Structure 1
Amino acid sequence: MGIPFPKLTFEKAVHILEEVIDRPYEKLFHVITVNPEIVMSSQHDKRLRAIVDEAGLITADGIGIVKISQVKGNGLPERVTGYDMMMRLLETGNRKGWSFYLLGCDEETSVKAAETIRERYPNVRIAGRRNGFFKPEDDEAIVRDIQAARPDVLLVALGAPKAEEWIYRYKAELPAKLAMGIGGSLDVLAGKVKRAPVFWQKANLEWLYRLLNQPSRWRRQLVLPKFAVRALLYKEEKER
């Protein structure tokens, strides 16, 4: 649907991010894990499409994107999720002493996520954190706090596409080496939400597991069949 996904495995994607963090700071490297919702929204939201196009790296965070690409003969190797990349960065950061700033989710979850990181990854430095319940007029103070913290990695849990839009709006002012929207990953890390068991993940049914455990997500899931049809017919629509 016009979005140029690179053919990256999870390991290759993580390697790119680790190289970005290891080198001296130049400018913020924006990572976007693109799911079908973002793909669909970017078809009519020009600003979101510009944000995706200007990202340092995009990955396919949705098995539907991978499967459609394979059906159309230009297959992506695998799904590369924000949660999995976050966990690998924390593991590597524990060995290398990287610093992280957590922005988003509710206060209790933010505190618990920070505590969990300190327990599991004692060499990781939590440079700062801020819950996601803030108003636009608070942005300036949050940016100043991040500037003072100068984290290697900024993890933004404001939901998509709000996280992507917030990072893009202030990326010229943020001194982090890498910033990434991570959806509800801090909820999982803090134990507030359980991730699908490995069986469901390997069967590419993580979306169904989340739906069964959070029925309120059904409205969001309606985008999946719409995405599949639109993506399959995209070439034919352009030719017409």
Structure 2
Amino acid sequence: MSGYVSILGVPFSRKTLDGTVACLAEQINKENSGLFHLITANPEITLASQSDPLLQEIIRSADLIVPDGIGIVLAAKRKGEPVPERVTGYDLLLRLLAQGNEQGWSFYFLGTDERTSVQAAEQIVRSYPQVKLAGRHHGFFSAEDEPGIIADIWKSKPDVLILAMGAPYSDKWLHKHRRELEGVKLAFGVGGSLDVISGKVKPAPAIWKKLNLEWAHRLLFAPVAKGQKSRWRRQAALPKFVYRTMIRKGN
């Protein structure tokens, strides 16, 4: 079995959640390893990459892309090259925080609004007291603020940089500033995970997760940040993804 499956040209990892965490932990524990860019891609991002040259470039340069969405799992199965399970940004964040608590890893959190950022950081410090909080900053900053934020991240040199500015913006921002952030060992986007950790958004109940319906729970109950597209508008991409990957031949 190959290590990845291509869905609409995006090479998705076929590692399990456990295997992905082990891979990332190895990267974090390396000395002078350089920045490892992980992308957690769902059907919306996969479809968007078809008409976005910059996103295509980012995908080609990424170190690992994981299937963050049941649609990717179903598309891989339809292709006859199944992935074992979804690997979501939220699950990876919690697993890395738990392991970081044991090994003393440092984290920097960039994104969401100021109040949620503060509350998420406070909750993480309470739940994972041995994790080092290298720093944090909300995601509603201007171009004039960027040099100071980048300097703060570079100075603190976190093991893990968590981006919560929405996809694909988080990955585009990281790609733009990658050379300036070489002191970071691992960076990836987590969508609205900090909203959940802070308590602003309630996590999907177990039955929704079991039925792979977290996306529907978010659609119905999670607030949308100012400046972001309506989740109902974003879900309009899903029928196109289904057609491209499961109905139309040759994909």
Q: Same fold (TM over 0.5)?
A: yes
Deviates most, 222-231 or 54-63:
222-231
Shift of 1:234: 5.6
Counterparts of 1:194-233 in structure 2 under 5 Å?
A: 194-214=202-222, 216-233=230-247
Q: 2:135 aligns with which of 120, 128, 136?
A: 128
Question: Which residue of structure 2 lines up, in the alignment, with residue 163 of structure 1?
Answer: 170
In 1, Cα distance between equivalents of 2:249 and 2:65:
21
The answer to whether residue 194 in structure 2 is matched with residue 180 in structure 1 is: no
1:34 to 30, 38, 41: 41
Deviation per CA, 1:137-187, whole angstroms, max 9, x where unpaired? 221111101011110000010100110001111111111100011111100
Equivalent of 2:61 in 36, 54, 60 = 54
Residue in structure 2 matching 1:80, options 84, 87, 98? 87
Please give the per-residue CA displacement for 1:92-117, whole angstroms capped at 9, x wherever unaligned: 00000110001000000000011001
Describe the shift of the 1:234–1:24 C-alpha distance in structure 2 as closer, same or farther (beyond 3 A).
Answer: farther
Structure 2 residue 104 is the aligned partner of structure 1 residue 97: yes
Kindly state the Cα deviation for residue 83 of structure 1 after the two structures are TM-superposed. Answer: 0.4
CA contact (8 A) 1:27 1:172 kept: no
How many Å separate the matches in 1 of 2:222 and 2:131? 32
Q: Aligned residues, how many?
A: 237
Q: Answer yes or no: is the 8 Å Cα contact 1:82–1:181 preserved in 2.
A: yes
Offset at residue 235 of structure 1 (A): 4.6
CA distance in 2, matches of 1:179, 1:214: 24
Once the two structures are aligned, what percentage of the paired residues are identical? 53
Q: TM-score, normalised by structure 1?
A: 0.95
Name the counterpart of 1:5: 12
Letter in 1 for 2:190: I
Structure 2 portions without partners, runs of 5+: 1-7, 224-229
Question: Normalising by structure 2, what TM-score?
Answer: 0.91
Query: 2: distance between equivalents of 1:213 and 1:6?
Result: 30
Misfit runs of 4+, over 6 Å: none
Cα deviation, 1:29-52, whole Å, max 9, x if unaligned, reads 001000111101100101101101
Partner of 1:144: 151
Q: 1 CA distance for matches of 2:155 and 2:10?
A: 35
